[in-house]
Amino acid sequence: MRYISTRGQAPVLTFEQAMLTGLARDGGLYLPESIPTLTEAQIAAMAGMSYEDIAFTVMRPFIGDTFSDDQFKQLIKQAYADFGHAARAPLVQLDSNHFLLELFHGPTLAFKDFAMQLIGQMFEAALTRSGDRVTIVGATSGDTGSAAMEAFRGLDAVDVFILYPHGRVSEVQRRQMTTPSEANVHALAVDGDFDDCQAAVKDMFNDFAFREEVKLAGVNSINWGRVLAQVVYYFSSAVSLGAPHREVSFTVPTGNFGDIFAGYIAKQMGLPIKDLVVATNMNDILHRTLETGAYTKEGVTPTISPSMDIQVSSNFERALFYAYDQDGATVAGQMDDLKGGGFQISQGAYQMLKDTFKSGRASEDQTSAAIRSYNARHGELLCPHTAVGTHVAEAHLGATPMITLATAHPAKFPDAVSKATGITPPLPQRMADLYDRPERVTRVSNTLADIQAIIKERITL
């Protein structure tokens, strides 16, 4: 299996190289040269399989000879061993045709654990074999950073530095980043906002001398390894509702388009998915694009679903690549236009996107109302991101079972939940001592040189 860039100008890579590289050198994102399909019999055989066995069946065709079957099975097993639910991704029924896929039973209580735990294992295995080590640097508004630190802590071949905006992440998110005690993970609280953190990371990747010196690697949501790991729960949940003999639909609370794009891959692999519904909060670039065909940037408004507060949706480029029949030059041109504020998608490509994705948006009031009503009607406490999803899903319910992805545990966003319901959701028992663990964090100015100096001083090359 070979991997190509959405902009058509970067070297073709193996799975291992694409995973370790993250962003392609031409600025594009890596995708498999062709999407492997599973037969109806292969999908039917997933009924009754463990999550881990389904994960192996779904991902195996994508990884080429990066890992042997036995080793890959072992890595999958280790990745999900710390999850707090035997099903890993259990399905809960809300209404006769509406289901909730709980993706928050991982160690940091958000769906990002599904991908991050697995790529932590895959990075370590690949690097141990080659004798290399890397420095992972990432920016976070909360969930990605905690998931990365949890996944990589204590591993030998990686140092991890996570930049977060000082004072602007929730207390649970901060503690999840500052309490791991292992020497290879470092939380850096930057005096700035999330955009400053992201700009600093970008600058470090563009500083080729530094990049080389510390062997910089990235695990943000454009990493193909992360998208791939997220394809699995579309299969596990759909099969438990009767696929491949019955169609299902999904509604996905989305920011960077990573999670919903994984659903698109599942569909291309042969999973009978009827609707893929994009659910956004008021930062609705994706909803607007699907309504109008114009992809235009607007400022970011802070919401109670902060993990979806984005201005540019990085993984959307992958969908565009397919919409333009894998024409990298056209995608590169449109991405260039984005620097000027936006671009118009051509008629044919727009039609493909409209045929593939539906969409909806939830206001802040609608999000709070959804949290309140699902608690009143079903006794379910939803995190605000999930509530954006259920609100949008309701407009798309029909004869086909709808699965809404529950992307975080309500206890990760207690303020929004208690404001809507009067109930403060407790942390699961296994992390009830989070507030008692000692914190370790380095406060740093919003200056590239300062941040780079700390990284150079701390790494164990």
Ligand X SMILES: *Cc1c(COP(=O)(O)O)cnc(C)c1O
CB 460 to ligand X: min, Å: 29
Q: Which residues bind ligand X (CB under 6 A)?
A: 110, 112, 143, 221, 253-259, 307-308, 385, 407-408
Task: Compute the distance between CA of residue 262 and CA of residue 276 in angstroms, rounded to an integer.
Answer: 11
| CA–CA dist 61, 80 (Å, integer) | 20
- Give me the least distance between CB of 73 and ligand X, in Å please: 26
| Backbone conformation region of residue 252, classed left if phi is above 0, alpha if psi is from -120 to 50, else beta | beta
β-pairing, 98-102 vs 134-139, is unpaired
CB closer to ligand X, 166 vs 226:
226
Q: Name the burial class of residue 314, with classes exposed (0-12), middle (13-18) and buried (19+) by CB atoms within 10 angstroms of its CB.
A: middle
The whole-angstrom separation of Cα 82 and Cα 195 is 32
The owner of tokens 């991908």 is 115
Please provide the DSSP assignment of 69-116 as one string. HHHHHHHHHHHHTT-SSTTSS-EEEEETTEEEEE---STTSBTHHHHH
Strands 134-139 and 3-5, by their bridges, are: unpaired
Give whichever of 21 and 281 is closer to ligand X, judged by the CB atom. 281
> Of the two residues 244 and 384, which places its CB atom closer to ligand X in the complex?
384
**Least distance (Å) from ligand X to the CB of residue 256?**
3
Radius of gyration of the chain (CA): 21
Residue closer to ligand X (CB basis): 221 or 237: 221
Encoded tokens for 207: 């500083």
Residues belonging to the active site: 112
Q: What is the DSSP string of 251-265?
A: EEE-SSSHHHHHHHH
For residue 314, give the 3-state DSSP assignment.
coil
Point out which residues pair with 5 in neighbouring strands. 30
Rounded to whole angstroms, the Cα distance separating 7 from 264 reads 20
Task: Specify whether the CB–CB gap between 97 and 400 falls below 8 A.
Answer: yes
Q: What share of the chain is helix, strand, coil (3-state, %, to 5)?
A: 45, 15, 35
How is residue 403 written in tokens?
């699965």
Q: Least distance to ligand X from the beta carbon of 157, Å?
A: 26
The tokens for 321 are 């690549």
Give the torsion sign (CA, 83, 86, 89, 95). Answer: negative
* Beta strands at 442-444 and 402-406: parallel, antiparallel or unpaired: unpaired
Minimum CB separation from ligand X for residue 69, in Å?
A: 29
Phi (first) and psi of residue 425, to 5 degrees: -70, 130
Q: Least distance (Å) from ligand X to the CB of residue 204? A: 22
Residue 434: other Cβ atoms inside 10 A: 15
Question: Rounded to the nearest whole angstrom, what is the least distance from the CB of residue 278 to ligand X in the complex?
Answer: 9
3-class state of residue 407 by DSSP: coil
